[in-house]
Structure 1
Amino acid sequence: MTPTPLLNILTENKLNGNNYKEWKSNLIIILSCEKLKIVLDTKCPPTTQADARKHRQESDEIARCYMLVCVTNTLYKQVESYKTAKSNLDKLEDMFGGQATLAR
């Protein structure tokens, strides 16, 4: 993954357990800009659509990697076994989704 100014936002503000809402907001912005947010919003195409499925899996792996490099080492160990970006985000949502939004 090539570092971009947008990705720097996540790497400089890694998810640490106290900043989930802000981290998730930044993640969604970056995945949207990189045209990867679709992996969070749609299911993988059926095996009969091999090219679309392969592209979706590649996009999912990139999105998953973005997420994994942008969490603390402790959190990484808790979510690394989840194989898709959506399952990673679901796990993190279960862990931190109830946090109050921080005032800016």
Structure 2
Amino acid sequence: MSSLPLRSILTDGKLVGDNFHDWYRTLRIVLMHEKLIDMIDKPPMHEPINNDDVDAVGSYKKYLEDLMSSKCLMLASMSSELQRQHKDMGNIIAHLKKMYGAQSRTARYQLSKTLFRSMLNVNAQVGPHILKMISLMEQLEKLG
């Protein structure tokens, strides 16, 4: 089921912290390809109460295997420090969103503020000003 070239995208863009949104977008693409996207999109499945229900037990075992595969993909695509922090954690994505989501909000705010306060000075050239504005907009787009 796995495609090594697609998984290599994650190792090329390892999560180091400040690139969370790019990493998360790439992770979602790989998980979609691996048919594991439900592991981060849907709430966790609970162990069946009745162990006599063969279908429920089988689907729960499949869920645990898929959960382990997605966790391994996530951990393999992180820096070694983040791997150590998250290796025993249950919901890695929720924790990472808490850690890095606020940073991107602040960065977006600062970039937006700079963009909206940018003014072309009298007798200044238009070209450099436009390039600065485009750069700010591209940075905002990267932050989502």
**TM-score normalised to the size of structure 2?**
0.63
Query: What is the alpha-carbon distance in structure 2 between the residues aligned to residue 93 and residue 20 of structure 1?
Result: 8
Confirm or deny that 1:57 pairs with 2:64: yes
1:81 CA displacement:
1.4
Structure 1 counterpart of 2:45: 44
Q: Which structure 2 residue ranges, 5 or more long, are not aligned?
A: 51-55, 109-138
Larger radius of gyration: 2
Structure 2 counterpart of 1:96: 100
**Higher relative contact order at CA 8 Å, sep ≥6: structure 1 or structure 2?**
1
RMSD: 2.0
Aligned length: 101
Q: Which segments of structure 1 move beyond 2 Å, counting only runs of 4 or more?
A: 100-104
Identity %: 28
Equivalent positions of 1:1-104 (< 5 A) are: 4-42=4-42, 43-44=44-45, 46-47=47-48, 48=50, 49-83=56-90, 87-98=91-102, 99=104, 100=107, 102=139, 103=141
Higher helix share: 2
